[in-house]
Structure 1
Amino acid sequence: MVQPGAATGTLAAPHSALSANPAAPILLFDSGVGGLSVLSEVRKLLPEAPIIYAADNAGLPYGEKTEAQIAARVSGLLGRMTERFRPRLVCIACNTASTIALAAVREVLEVPIVGTVPAIKPAAGLTRSGTIGLLGTAATIRQGYVDRLEAEFAAGKRLLRFGAGELVGAAEAKLRGHAVDPAVYRRAAEGLTGQPGGEEIDTVVLACTHFPLVEAELAGAFGPGVSFVHGAPGIARRVEFLTGGQDFARNQTDLALFTRAGDEIDQLQPALAAYGLGRVGIF
């Protein structure tokens, strides 16, 4: 296990300097293990890229925090992590953090930042009924950013939203090897289908990176005829584009960082190893 340590106190180098170092990692950040769904897609496109996966488990769940709390926490953590680990690119693999803190983080950091956008645009292209469901945390579904995406990409469609924050805990529990009550998934499905017009839903946006980790369980709860879409493949393509032409040197197994120690990290290690995260540390 990598030992905890404070940030070095030095400023992050400009992107050109960072990208010249083949060992400079891509930093993926989430409140918990949800960003592993993004890591999986990034690894398909960039198998040799060194990666640090950072999970702010001390701050989990973000969906129950205020916007001010999330913006301050994410900006502070990413500032310190960037100073210490000097990544070539930072990906905020969290819908809640991206919709709230992305602009603030971009003002502070000197490396490219990739955020996570609810996949409303591709969902609008997939739906045949014209009715789309959106599952996210309570903090995500109330954001004006989601309103703007709906107006731009789903005009003329019906977008129904439901805050299914307990799916975050379900995904975390699943990766720790714990059993999850199937009622959790039924409540998420009924939260959408029980709304006026909800019976018309044929496409569901998973607007939290945790949710693709339980997509199979959600499919069972919704029943046949419903497709799911999320942003991880598009995020991975953006990361690939922004690092195009750069050299990679993956000299050791990738690192998973957590902001709080605990038994849950030991329970997660088999799942982390399956994603190529062979080292674990506390930040």
Structure 2
Amino acid sequence: MVDPAAPILIFDSGVGGLSVLAEVRKLLPDAPVIYVADQAALPYGDKTEAEIAARVAGLLGRLAERYHPRLICIACNTASTIALGMVREVLETPIVGTVPAIKPAAEMTKTGVIGLLGTAATIRQAYVDNLEAEFASDKTLLRHAAPELVGAAELKLRGGTPDPAIFARAVEGLRAQAGGADIDTAVLACTHFPLLEDELGAAFGGKVNFVDGAQGIARRIAYLTQGQSFDRQQPDFAIVTGDKHDDPALLQAFEPYGIAKICSL
């Protein structure tokens, strides 16, 4: 039996996982949620695999021991492609990861050319190679690391206006590759990036369909928790590592997603 008050824990390096939380809310509006943003280590994309694996496994171990979640969602492509297997080995809690949505993109494309925007750490993973081989072997998958988009999403959710040149550079990184002019579908392989879909759409000229994994992740969480009771005994809250837990702009970014307060870890 699962404690009805046991939360779903959604973990990301920053605010990107809010794109996943938004979809979870649609399917499970009564589920208690704890959102965790590892702001102290943001961004993950410029770190080594060993650094990411050690940090994610360590943090989730502490969080699972303290909050006893019914399920943990690693709402971060970089962390999932690197550390998902390790975390599943050491924790008994069900774990849902986030991986680039290459399969639905391959089913959607008409030109056969798919663009993939992610962090440097994500796009170099063998996990992505395997997804391409399994689901898009007859397509052309062009990858580009766009780390600036992470900071742009963080800025946007805090009420700032990112430099449009950031989006132009991300798009040019794909378009400039052989076959890039034929991209009609783009995989947003970082949970921060769907928060910038309007800006990226403008930079692409409105000629590209975007695909991300948030809806599929939410469906998986709903499936794994079906039949369970939910009892939200306190308002949902976020946990932020580092010294930004008292940032008013960050709380303002969380509030539309049902997060009432921010705590430090």
Instruction: Say yes or no: TM over 0.5.
Output: yes
Alignment of 1:8-47 (within 5 A): 16=1, 19=2, 21-47=3-29
Equivalent residue number for residue 159 of structure 1: 141
Q: What does 1:157-236 align with in structure 2 at a 5 Å threshold?
A: 157-236=139-218
Q: CA deviation at 1:264?
A: 7.5
Q: In 2, are the aligned partners of 1:141 and 1:163 still within 8 Å (CA)?
A: yes
Report the TM-score, using the length of structure 2 for normalisation: 0.99
CA distance in 1, matches of 2:259, 2:97: 22
The corresponding residue for 2:100 is 118
Residues 264 and 118 of structure 1, relative CA distance in 2, 3 Å threshold: farther
Over residues 69-124 of structure 1, what are the superposed CA-to-partner deviations in whole Å (9 max), with x where a residue is unaligned?
00000000000000000000000000000000000000111110000010000000
Q: CA deviation at 1:25?
A: 0.1
Counterpart code for 1:164: A
Q: Secondary structure at the match of 2:142?
A: strand
Say which of 270, 275, 280 aligns to 2:252.
270
Q: Which residue of 2 aligns with 1:253?
A: 235
Which residues in structure 2 correspond to 1:69-84 (within 5 Å)? 69-84=51-66
Q: Structure 2 CA distance, aligned partners of 1:248 and 1:28?
A: 16
Partners of 1:153 and 1:174 lie apart in 2 by 33
Q: CA deviation at 1:54?
A: 0.2
**Cα offsets for 1:128-158 (capped at 9, x unmatched):** 0000000000000000000000000001100
Q: CA deviation at 1:262?
A: 2.6
What is the alpha-carbon distance in structure 2 between the residues aligned to residue 168 and residue 105 of structure 1? Answer: 24
Deviation at 1:200, TM superposition (A): 0.3
In structure 2, what is the Cα distance between the partners aligned to 1:180 and 1:224?
19
Counterpart of 1:183 in structure 2: which amino acid? A
Other structure's SS at 1:248 match: coil
1:128-167 matches, within 5 Å, as: 128-167=110-149
Aligned length, in residue pairs: 265
- Give the percent of matched residue pairs that are identical in Structure 1 and Structure 2: 67
Which of 85, 90, 106 is equivalent to 2:67? 85
SS at match of 2:239: strand
- Give unpaired runs (5+ residues) of structure 2: none
Equivalent residue, structure 1, for 2:91? 109
| Equivalent residue number for residue 127 of structure 1 | 109
Give CA deviations for 1:190-241 in whole Å, capped at 9, x if unaligned.
0001111000000000000000000100000001221000000000000000
Q: SS in structure 1 opposite 2:187?
A: strand
Counterparts of 2:207 and 2:11 in 1: how far apart (Å)? 33
CA change 1:263–1:39 in 2 (3 A) is closer
Deviation at 1:260, TM superposition (A): 1.2
**Structure 1 length-normalised TM:** 0.92
Q: State the Cα distance separating 1:251 from its structure 2 match.
A: 2.0
Aligned-residue offset at 1:263: 7.6
RMSD across aligned C-alpha pairs, in angstroms?
0.9
Asked if the contact 1:176/1:264 (under 8 Å) is kept, the reply is no
Retained in 1: the 8 A contact 2:245–2:263? no
CA contact (8 A) 2:239 2:245 kept: no
